[in-house]
């Protein structure tokens, strides 16, 4: 039995953040009904590439759901949605700010009619404030939140993070909020309104940078693979490709210095403590890389692991998913009825990972099954 079996979710969402939230709940056993326009979620057409005519971006976040198509310009379709929301435990919506209120589907109207409903809204910039009604996509909010300015090489242009970290993160926060609301409902008998946004998620991902800024008054430096607070804690080139070394304390640095043939570094005032290494990184980091380029990546990993120094190769995506560890934890799962694989829920319950039970649906695939007629 999955943890959320018996929980019913209505998803009035498209693109990424809202569908991610509903997919998390679906993977944990909730019955998720995805409401789409007759032409379907916009994300279905985000490509190329396509898999059997559908964008992989859509497939990635819509497994374990059933799809109903509605035309919310029709009074009968709106009335049906209001009614079915009353039989749901959670509603997740990401439509244009203000549009649901115009149709009587906003948080105030639906929670007044259905007081046990957990009403979850995903915004671009937040549920209040001067930008409440402003729409936004991932790259816009990575830029606006300051996240993009913290990514990339120091002195180079700001760089977008290579995955939709705000959409996925906001979906995660929304799902967490929905679960917390369900726990609260057990105590109060009433649902609540959960609000999350890409902007809030962006600021949350920068909480460490913000704490450093408040402490020093200085904007933390950018590093390709490293940290502005811990040295050495980054990628280095070797003879056969890059690896990451994460010497997160002085004890680990002493072990690293031994492996590199410079045990004296552990007592050198320039390098003996982390704060000294941060101050002297312009001397230390090139010296480390000069040594690492004398051997292959594999040789260094063997030596570092034998000494207990945390390290890892920098894998490509195909290399990462081909690792025996990825197979052992079962993170890549087949889609039922298709020769396609998807990434599974990164949680296990009693040692078992929830599986992909339903393939991502076609637009309206379950309309007759759910609405009848």
- Tokens 């894998």 map to which residue? 315
Rounded-to-integer distance, Cα 175 and Cα 181, Å: 10
Q: Is 283 a catalytic residue?
A: no
Handedness of CA 209, 210, 215, 220 (dihedral sign): positive
Q: What are residue 19's phi and psi, to 5 degrees?
A: -60, -35
Nearest to 63 by CA among 91, 27, 14: 27
Beta carbons within 8 Å of 56's beta carbon, 6+ residues apart? 47, 49, 50
Q: What are residue 347's phi and psi, to 5 degrees?
A: -140, 150
Q: Coil, strand, or helix at residue 349?
A: strand
Find the catalytic residue in 77, 89, 167, 338.
Answer: 167
Beta carbons within 8 Å of 165's beta carbon, 6+ residues apart? 142, 147, 201, 205
- Tokens 């374990």 map to which residue? 64
Query: Among all residues, which ones are annotated catalytic?
Result: 167
């Amino acid at each position: 039995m999955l943890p959320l079996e018996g929980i019913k979710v209505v998803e009035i969402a498209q693109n990424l953040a809202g569908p991610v939230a509903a997919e998390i709940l679906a993977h944990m056993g909730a019955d998720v009904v995805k409401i789409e326009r007759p032409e379907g979620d916009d994300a279905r057409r985000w490509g190329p590439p396509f898999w059997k005519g559908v964008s992989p971006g859509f497939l990635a976040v819509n497994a374990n759901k059933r799809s109903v198509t509605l035309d919310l310009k029709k009074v009968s379709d709106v009335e049906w949605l209001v009614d079915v929301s009353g039989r749901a435990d959670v509603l997740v919506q990401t439509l244009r700010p203000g549009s649901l209120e115009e149709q009587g589907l906003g948080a105030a109207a639906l929670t007044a009619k259905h007081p046990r409903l957990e009403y979850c809204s995903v915004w671009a910039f937040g549920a209040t404030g001067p930008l409440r009604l402003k729409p936004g996509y991932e790259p816009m909010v990575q830029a606006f939140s300051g996240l993009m300015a913290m990514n990339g090489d120091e002195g180079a242009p700001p760089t977008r993070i290579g995955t939709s970290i705000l959409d996925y993160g906001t979906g995660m926060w929304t799902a967490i909020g929905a679960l917390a609301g369900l726990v609260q409902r057990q105590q109060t008998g009433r649902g609540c309104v959960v609000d999350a946004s890409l902007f809030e998620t962006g600021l949350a991902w920068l909480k460490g940078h913000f704490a450093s800024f408040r402490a020093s008054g200085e904007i933390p430096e950018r590093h390709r693979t490293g940290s502005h607070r811990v040295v050495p804690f980054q990628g280095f080139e070797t003879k056969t490709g890059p690896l990451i070394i994460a010497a997160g304390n002085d004890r680990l640095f002493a072990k690293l210095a031994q492996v590199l043939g410079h045990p004296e570094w552990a007592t050198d005032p320039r390098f003996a403590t982390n704060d000294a290494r941060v101050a002297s990184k312009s001397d230390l980091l090139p010296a480390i890389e000069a040594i690492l380029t004398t051997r292959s990546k594999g040789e260094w990993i063997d030596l570092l692991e034998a000494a207990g120094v945390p390290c890892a190769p920098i894998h490509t995506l195909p290399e990462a998913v081909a690792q025996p560890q990825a197979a052992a934890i079962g993170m890549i799962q087949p889609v039922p009825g298709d020769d396609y694989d998807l990434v599974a829920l990164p949680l296990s319950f009693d040692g078992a990972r929830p599986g992909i039970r339903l393939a991502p649906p076609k637009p309206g695939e379950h309309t007759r099954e759910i609405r009848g007629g």
